[in-house]
Structure 1
Amino acid sequence: MTLAAPAPAHEAPAPERARPRTLTPRFFARHLTRFALSLTALLVASFAMIHLIPGDPLRKMLGPTAPKELIEQRRDELGLDDSIPVQFVHYLRDVFSGDLGTSFISAQPVSTIIRDGLLNTLALALLATVVALLVAVPLGMWGAVRTENGRSRRTESAFGALTGAAVAVPEYLYALALVIVFALGLSWFPPAGLTGPASYVLPVLALAIGPAAMIARVARVETLRELGSDYMRLARAKRLPAGRLYVRHLLPNTLTATLTMGGLLLSGLITGSVLVENVFAWPGLGLRTVEAITQKDYPVAQAVILVYGAIVLAVNFVVDLALGALDPKSALSTGKEN
């Protein structure tokens, strides 16, 4: 007769897996290296812009009737007679010292033109990003709670149709519609320019509607995924109040992907606000870009390309670090940190 071994009174709990450390020096150095390499490629591309223009760029800048002496003078001022490597070294020196040249149209320092326009563009893009997130996250969470487990098919269909249509409409069409209805029709807001706080309302809405719909769709998917997780089942079993259940437990766990998209959205709004700024005659970098291209003001156009690219790279770098801090798994997707 074989006697079974007595069962232990209680089993030792399984050791908890260590939470991966993401913001280690190696993680930071890897992303910093990527940022530096991308910035180097951007500097090369912006420098090459003048040299890739077909024909003589100075002749295009100054016009076909410009005297030869003026062209030779400007060529000497810009150092275009030097070798390409020497010109690139001088270009790097000027960029990192803040000297981006002089506008051929207004004779103003390009750095001054970029600074003034960039501040207005950043204000517009930041406000649009905040508005989009404040609307999209609650809307996406509400849509997920209402349609969880196949409930309310009508709500699900309406949510998908409305947000899909909102994403499909270009920002400049929103801008035109808002101007026609709220500026020209109702006279609630100024139609153009920057004359006060009311001037921000229509351009911010024009930039925020499409991104808010897109983020709402992402927030709904993330919320549905979290609603089916074990911790949410446990929280519901405890019959926690709705505010505590959704705000304290659900919201933080749905924000990772949403905030990542919000960060990328910010860089997209900064670089993609050109048409909206032109509709509202907004004194931002987008308006300066169109003016520089149409007037063949190549020093300004060259600087705008550099600034736009640097903004995108910087925002992506910050988003990568923030994602690594919020979601430990994100670091493991690009390499081991051990």
Structure 2
Amino acid sequence: MTEPAAVRPTAPSALTDVLASPWVSFARRRAGRFALSLWALLTAAFLMIHLVPGDPVRAALGTTAPADLVRARRAALGLDDPLPVQYMHYLGSLFTGDFGTSMTSGTPVSELIGDRLPATVQLAVPAFVVAVLIAVPLGALMAVLTRGGRRRGGELAFTSTSVFLAAIPEFLLAVGLVSVFAVRLGWFPVAGRSGAGSYVLPVLSLAVGPAAVLARMVRVEMLSVLGAEFVRTARAKRLPARRVYAGHALPNALTATLTLGGLVLTGLVAGTVLVENVFAWPGLGSTIVQSIQQKDYPAVQGVVLVYGIGVLSVNLLVDVALALLDPRSAIREA
């Protein structure tokens, strides 16, 4: 009797190999976290208009508005429907790009956001770039100069100054800069967005605090890296100082600093709310304050949602950048 031939194990398919890759697992986890956080954000933004005491329609139309007009407005906005029905309509509208309609101006909120968002981005991105360009070289230089307990006076001056600058609120710094450089010296415009000069004071107001925080973080991480074995090996090989510091030490120090950099960027975006109002900047920050004062809850809801999505997106980009800089972290999490 002939024995059946042994079944040979089939080689795993290319698709199976791809799905089993640590990078695919990393991407799947990050996408899941992003989706869950986005759902929580959407739900919180929806509940915002229902948890606020009072009737938003009555607040927007005024206490003297006729009852028929208030009822018609509530029906047009769908506020008379059951809460679950409103929630499903809300989610469906968002996925089609419909953020609702402003109660005060009658303008679609998506159009309002589209008009104001570029101004906020044009303020936040340069501020972040300026903060990084100041913090990274300054923190690395202070680490090199003060390593091994050297220059205690310089270290104390740097630490004290950075703590002081980081503690100043953005709006207070903005008011001080306006008072000195716009009102007294007349070097820059007091408010508005007209020309390159109008960007200087708002960008500095947003960048100084984050730059101080990042510079301290870069210095601490750089000091840790300068004591590592591979840096001592590079020095033993008599490599040029520029290559040791810039080519070996600094990239490793920035890996840990990048996490804080993402948090600083999200905080910087939030800081635009107050700074924009100081400089009468036509962005989302001034829009949300005006909408709160006018009790225009759909506009507030839409702007808060945009800010939240921006924060989630920044955190996701930071996670991806960290994984690219240190692939072992993505593999360890798989």
TM-score (norm 2): 0.91
Match of residue 327 from structure 2 = 328
User: For the Cα contact (< 8 Å) 1:101–1:111, is it kept in 2?
Assistant: yes
Give 2:289's aligned amino acid.
V
User: For the Cα contact (< 8 Å) 2:56–2:295, is it kept in 1?
Assistant: no
Match of residue 6 from structure 2 = none
Match of residue 291 from structure 1 = 290
Residue correspondence of structure 1 range 1-338 to structure 2 within 5 A? 24-331=23-330, 336-337=333-334
Give 2:291's aligned amino acid.
A
Instruction: For 1:267 and 1:166, locate their aligned partners in 2 and report how far apart those are by CA, in whole Å.
Output: 18
User: For the Cα contact (< 8 Å) 2:170–2:271, is it kept in 1?
Assistant: no
The structural deviation recorded for 1:117 is 1.6
Give 1:127's aligned amino acid.
P
User: What does the per-residue CA deviation read over 1:195-232, in whole Å, with 9 as the maximum and x for residues that have no partner?
Assistant: 01111110000000010010000000110011001111
Give 1:129's aligned amino acid.
F
Identity of aligned residues (%): 57
Q: 3-state DSSP class of the match of 2:125?
A: helix
User: For the Cα contact (< 8 Å) 2:102–2:299, is it kept in 1?
Assistant: yes
User: What does the per-residue CA deviation read over 1:22-71, in whole Å, with 9 as the maximum and x for residues that have no partner?
Assistant: 96111111111111111111111111111112232221221111101111
Instruction: For 1:329 and 1:215, locate their aligned partners in 2 and report how far apart those are by CA, in whole Å.
Output: 24
Match of residue 8 from structure 1 = none
TM-score (norm 1): 0.90
User: For the Cα contact (< 8 Å) 2:56–2:296, is it kept in 1?
Assistant: no
Which structure 1 residue ranges, 5 or more long, are not aligned? 1-20
User: What does the per-residue CA deviation read over 1:156-176, in whole Å, with 9 as the maximum and x for residues that have no partner?
Assistant: 111111111111111111101
Match of residue 11 from structure 1 = none
User: For the Cα contact (< 8 Å) 2:210–2:268, is it kept in 1?
Assistant: no
Instruction: For 2:310 and 2:131, locate their aligned partners in 1 and report how far apart those are by CA, in whole Å.
Output: 20
Which structure 2 residue ranges, 5 or more long, are not aligned? 1-19
The structural deviation recorded for 1:89 is 1.1
User: For the Cα contact (< 8 Å) 2:171–2:274, is it kept in 1?
Assistant: yes
Match of residue 3 from structure 1 = none
Instruction: Give the root-mean-square deviation of aligned CA atoms.
Output: 1.6
User: For the Cα contact (< 8 Å) 2:41–2:305, is it kept in 1?
Assistant: yes
The structural deviation recorded for 1:263 is 2.3
Instruction: For 2:133 and 2:289, locate their aligned partners in 1 and report how far apart those are by CA, in whole Å.
Output: 31
Instruction: For 1:60 and 1:44, locate their aligned partners in 2 and report how far apart those are by CA, in whole Å.
Output: 23
The structural deviation recorded for 1:242 is 2.3
Instruction: For 1:212 and 1:258, locate their aligned partners in 2 and report how far apart those are by CA, in whole Å.
Output: 12
Q: 3-state DSSP class of the match of 1:263?
A: helix
Q: 3-state DSSP class of the match of 1:123?
A: helix
Give 1:57's aligned amino acid.
P
Instruction: For 2:110 and 2:242, locate their aligned partners in 1 and report how far apart those are by CA, in whole Å.
Output: 49
The structural deviation recorded for 1:327 is 2.0
Match of residue 9 from structure 1 = none
Q: 3-state DSSP class of the match of 1:92?
A: helix
Q: 3-state DSSP class of the match of 2:81?
A: coil
The structural deviation recorded for 1:138 is 0.7
Q: Number of residue pairs matched?
A: 315
User: For the Cα contact (< 8 Å) 1:136–1:212, is it kept in 2?
Assistant: yes
